[in-house]
A and B are shown apart, each in its own frame.
Chain A
């Protein structure tokens, strides 16, 4: 009995709240023209799930092709298009918006005690831009595909391919503004709309993580936008910025692209880390160990993340001394991640730990992100990077951090806040199974890729020497397990919308402001703006409050 903290209302009498953001208004129009951050979060949730499915199918095709050494399932051109679309969709249309635009959008106002984000209309515009960007990218795919890779390397992308590069680039450009607007909204909301008593150091770490992410979104994304515009101009008008025969510099593209794309990898992990802080605290019943250290490490990652981009270019003929500086800075950026890991682990110390699904996903995050981060240090070590760069080692590294880290965190977050978003619980047993299957599938898929990388197998190869086959078969086998792990929630989460148990306000007995209101929340979030009179993660306050309620009611 005592092995769970789930406390649900009596199911025989429990009802969903009569009024909530879900039934405030009905009809498609009420959704498409909504200003409610919670509804926009749901719109985002549906659209990123759609793109995740497409990206996932493409991933399946990649793994299938790589089952055999020869390029026999599809033509090499097709293969190139498949991995390019997989990368573009997964990065720009899934990972970047995943946690911030869905869970973040839903929760930031609730957590700071506000009725909405600062600019509800801009928030809605952000979703429309995302959808338009997505349509452009889909159009590029349907009309014949793009085969630049998600990195759009010039001059390949500008002069040597006649696929829909400009369409796809425009799609990313537009979707980029969606991300800028989300960041803008978060920053203003956190600065201006905190409820009385909500000081900076009483904010949940979830908010700190998103604040740091927003800084990157606002400062980094415009550089990506400019870079893509330059690629388009170079393609259409041959302006020559990246063309050495016209006095341009092809390396300039690499600098510009990675100036965004390295910080962007932190857009793809900081919100995940933000989720993990909440989950670990709740299921350990403890305040996050070293709150300030965790908060500041997010900001440190965001700021210093801008100063390491050249580690993607160590072998590209950059000055050896500049490489030295960037390697050193990369080592420094790895430290805040280590700090976080240790603080989370210490949060469990002397806690009272239970193992519900979000916590299992968080454990998965722990293991996989630690490996991912440490293999990042391999790549930051200049002499080692020479051998490892552009091989499957890099592929394995970033899948460990992005899929093993961010996607695990995203699923942890979705399960954790599902009762708040929908008012109903997901089914516990099968979702635990999904968490375990995902973890195993992940390891089998991506661990062999480290070995392949050290063997020297280049990334983006449709065909490969026969001696690499065994490891590739493992990887493909793992991918099918992983696929099942991801399919399960696609079934049981929608199922739970109707058949799930009624969750009540606070099924996890968590301390955040969002858990002190009804699930699903009212459109205006709070009947009355709360006053924050305690620290974040104050479980004693919660205990007292619950006791008090029992006394007054009973």
Chain B
């Protein structure tokens, strides 16, 4: 049969086998997104019915053979007000609803597990703090909020997981974040949705949502041996950062302990939060924002370090902050709580991913 028309044949087989019309619902966000979607579909149907009935009814009732003479009339302010205010009201409801969902998707809970993803033409490189590196795949545990920090090393890409109803642009030179919490273990599509050149449509991969213990096993079996922070620590020495950031009183640069997420006063009087973006910017473009009390002598590392290297350094500086270390540890312990709890509440199960390196420089 199949020689008659391969396309027709494929079509029939596909039709019978998997006729997808609705994506799987596999994250905590998905039901919220779908509820909003169906409400919007409802609005569209009502709107169509309304306009459709009006037009059809008038077309039949007032067709020329039935109603030979038109009756002229002026507009009506009351009617104008009605069909201005009612759609406006409905649209505003959706505005609020959509805004709530948006803020929910883009503002992760504080205890989220961190993952970094670097987009490049045409692949996704994912890095877990524990030192697991993957390409065009991302393994994550279900039931734990995961925050993905994205960046692109070339053009715009976009990180889309339809089954989770989330998507975020990966932009060159700037961190963006997205968060999700998977609910159902399984294998889901990962797409690049921002057109990025030749193999845009091949920049796809899989998200593997796993039960926490499976994830732990996977993490233990796939670690590169050094956590991101440990890599960062090594880089910190190799690139000579510790020459100025030794953390003692003679050092020419500020102490980086506890820096992450703290509020910093700048020479120009403004204050900034030392988030991931700030740390990255500091390494590439140190003279842009100078903390109060320092001379801008830090050299720029623009062009000398890859996005992955920057992530390692950022992760290292983050690990110097005890708060950050704690939340990540809590996460690991949540992971372990899926296991029979080890005696004494030790938070490192036998196969757990290594903790972010916290050794002193």
Are B84 and A339 in contact, with the CB atoms below 8 A?
yes
Are B193 and A391 in contact, with the CB atoms below 8 A?
yes
Q: B23, B47, B191, B193: which has the most chain A beta carbons within 10 Å?
A: B193
Are B44 and A371 in contact, with the CB atoms below 8 A?
yes
A335 contacts the other chain (Cβ, under 8 Å)? yes
Are B95 and A327 in contact, with the CB atoms below 8 A?
yes
Which residues of chain A come closer than 8 Å to B36, judged between CB atoms? 381, 383-384
| Interface-located stretch among B99-107, B123-131, B217-225, B262-270 | B99-107
Q: Mark B89-112, 1 if CB is under 8 A from A, else 0.
A: 001101101111111111100000
**Given A292-B75, A454-B22 in contact, is the A251-B64 Cβ separation under 8 Å?**
no
Which residues of chain B come closer than 8 Å to A516, judged between CB atoms? none
Are B20 and A455 in contact, with the CB atoms below 8 A?
yes
Given A80-B200, A470-B15, 5 extra CB contacts under 8 A: A151-B195, A335-B88, A350-B62, A352-B62, A387-B167
Which residues of chain B come closer than 8 Å to A468, judged between CB atoms? 20
A348 vs B51: C-alpha distance in the bound complex, in angstroms?
A: 12
Which residues of chain B come closer than 8 Å to A317, judged between CB atoms? 168-169, 171, 174, 176
Which residues of chain A come closer than 8 Å to B101, judged between CB atoms? 381-384, 386
A338 vs B202: C-alpha distance in the bound complex, in angstroms?
A: 40
Are A290 and B75 in contact, with the CB atoms below 8 A?
yes
Q: Which residue of B lies closest to A389 (CB)?
A: B167
A459 contacts the other chain (Cβ, under 8 Å)? yes
Within 8 A of B (CB), among A458-502: 458-471, 473
A residues whose Cβ falls under 8 Å from a Cβ of B: 2-5, 67-68, 71, 76-77, 80, 147, 149, 151, 153, 155-156, 160-161, 244-245, 247, 250-251, 284-287, 289-293, 314-317, 320, 323-324, 327-328, 331-332, 334-335, 338-339, 341-343, 345-346, 348-355, 363, 366-367, 370-371, 374-375, 377-378, 380-387, 389-391, 451, 454-456, 458-471, 473, 539-540
Are A244 and B201 in contact, with the CB atoms below 8 A?
no
**Given A383-B36, A385-B98 in contact, is the A370-B51 Cβ separation under 8 Å?**
yes
Q: Mark B1-24, 1 if CB is under 8 A from A, else 0.
A: 000001100110011001111110
Q: Which residue of B lies closest to A71 (CB)?
A: B201
Are B167 and A390 in contact, with the CB atoms below 8 A?
yes
A386 vs B92: C-alpha distance in the bound complex, in angstroms?
A: 18
Which residues of chain B come closer than 8 Å to A153, judged between CB atoms? 155-156, 194-195
Q: Which residue of A lies closest to B156 (CB)?
A: A153
Are A467 and B20 in contact, with the CB atoms below 8 A?
yes
Q: A385, A458, A539: which has the most chain B beta carbons within 10 Å?
A: A458
Q: Pick the contact of B11: A314, A380, A469 (CB < 8 A).
A: A469
Within 8 A of A (CB), among B134-183: 154-156, 158, 160, 162-163, 165-169, 171-174, 176
Are A250 and B172 in contact, with the CB atoms below 8 A?
yes
Are B105 and A386 in contact, with the CB atoms below 8 A?
yes
**Given A153-B156, A331-B92, A466-B14 in contact, is the A370-B21 Cβ separation under 8 Å?**
no
Q: Pick the contact of A284: B21, B43, B70, B83 (CB < 8 A).
A: B70
A470 vs B70: C-alpha distance in the bound complex, in angstroms?
A: 48
Q: B20, B106, B284: which has the most chain A beta carbons within 10 Å?
A: B20
Shortest beta-carbon distance from B361 to chain A in Å: 28
Shortest beta-carbon distance from B298 to chain A in Å: 17
12 contacts between A and B (CB under 8 A): A2-B68, A71-B201, A76-B202, A156-B197, A160-B121, A348-B54, A348-B55, A352-B67, A367-B51, A383-B97, A383-B105, A455-B162
Which residues of chain A come closer than 8 Å to B155, judged between CB atoms? 153, 155-156, 160
**Given A338-B87, A351-B67, A465-B189 in contact, is the A470-B75 Cβ separation under 8 Å?**
no
**Given A3-B65, A468-B20 in contact, is the A290-B58 Cβ separation under 8 Å?**
no
A459 vs B195: C-alpha distance in the bound complex, in angstroms?
A: 8
B31 contacts the other chain (Cβ, under 8 Å)? no
Are A456 and B198 in contact, with the CB atoms below 8 A?
no
B335 contacts the other chain (Cβ, under 8 Å)? no
Are B102 and A323 in contact, with the CB atoms below 8 A?
yes
Are A470 and B19 in contact, with the CB atoms below 8 A?
yes
B353 contacts the other chain (Cβ, under 8 Å)? no
Shortest beta-carbon distance from B96 to chain A in Å: 9
Shortest beta-carbon distance from B107 to chain A in Å: 8
Are A341 and B11 in contact, with the CB atoms below 8 A?
no
Are A351 and B62 in contact, with the CB atoms below 8 A?
yes
B residues whose Cβ falls under 8 Å from a Cβ of A: 6-7, 10-11, 14-15, 18-23, 32-33, 36-37, 40, 43-44, 47-48, 51-52, 54-55, 58-59, 62-65, 67-76, 79-80, 83-84, 87-88, 91-92, 94-95, 97-107, 121, 154-156, 158, 160, 162-163, 165-169, 171-174, 176, 189, 191-202, 204, 284-285, 302-303
Shortest beta-carbon distance from B83 to chain A in Å: 4
A345 vs B70: C-alpha distance in the bound complex, in angstroms?
A: 15
**Given A156-B155, A316-B171, A455-B22 in contact, is the A327-B98 Cβ separation under 8 Å?**
yes
Are B40 and A384 in contact, with the CB atoms below 8 A?
yes
Shortest beta-carbon distance from B61 to chain A in Å: 9
A155 vs B200: C-alpha distance in the bound complex, in angstroms?
A: 15
**Given A316-B171, A334-B91, A354-B64 in contact, is the A286-B70 Cβ separation under 8 Å?**
yes
Q: Which residue of B lies closest to A254 (CB)?
A: B156
Are B63 and A451 in contact, with the CB atoms below 8 A?
no
**Given A351-B67, A458-B160 in contact, is the A76-B51 Cβ separation under 8 Å?**
no
Are B156 and A156 in contact, with the CB atoms below 8 A?
yes
A436 vs B351: C-alpha distance in the bound complex, in angstroms?
A: 66
4 closest pairs, A vs B, by CB?
A383-B101, A456-B162, A244-B173, A381-B98
A465 vs B91: C-alpha distance in the bound complex, in angstroms?
A: 35
A539 vs B70: C-alpha distance in the bound complex, in angstroms?
A: 9
A454 vs B202: C-alpha distance in the bound complex, in angstroms?
A: 20
Shortest beta-carbon distance from A537 to chain B in Å: 9
Shortest beta-carbon distance from A241 to chain B in Å: 13
Q: Pick the contact of B165: A151, A251, A387 (CB < 8 A).
A: A387
Q: Pick the contact of A456: B7, B43, B160, B285 (CB < 8 A).
A: B160
A68 vs B166: C-alpha distance in the bound complex, in angstroms?
A: 27
Shortest beta-carbon distance from B14 to chain A in Å: 5
A114 vs B43: C-alpha distance in the bound complex, in angstroms?
A: 45
Shortest beta-carbon distance from B159 to chain A in Å: 9
Which residues of chain B come closer than 8 Å to A456, judged between CB atoms? 23, 160, 162-163, 189, 191
Q: Which residue of B lies closest to A79 (CB)?
A: B201
**Given A352-B62, A371-B48, A465-B189 in contact, is the A290-B79 Cβ separation under 8 Å?**
yes
Q: Which residue of B lies closest to A465 (CB)?
A: B189
Which residues of chain A come closer than 8 Å to B192, judged between CB atoms? 458
Are A77 and B98 in contact, with the CB atoms below 8 A?
no
A143 vs B273: C-alpha distance in the bound complex, in angstroms?
A: 51
Shortest beta-carbon distance from A326 to chain B in Å: 11
Are B51 and A3 in contact, with the CB atoms below 8 A?
no
Are A345 and B75 in contact, with the CB atoms below 8 A?
no
Are B72 and A539 in contact, with the CB atoms below 8 A?
yes
Which residues of chain B come closer than 8 Å to A285, judged between CB atoms? 70
Are B63 and A354 in contact, with the CB atoms below 8 A?
yes
Are A286 and B72 in contact, with the CB atoms below 8 A?
yes
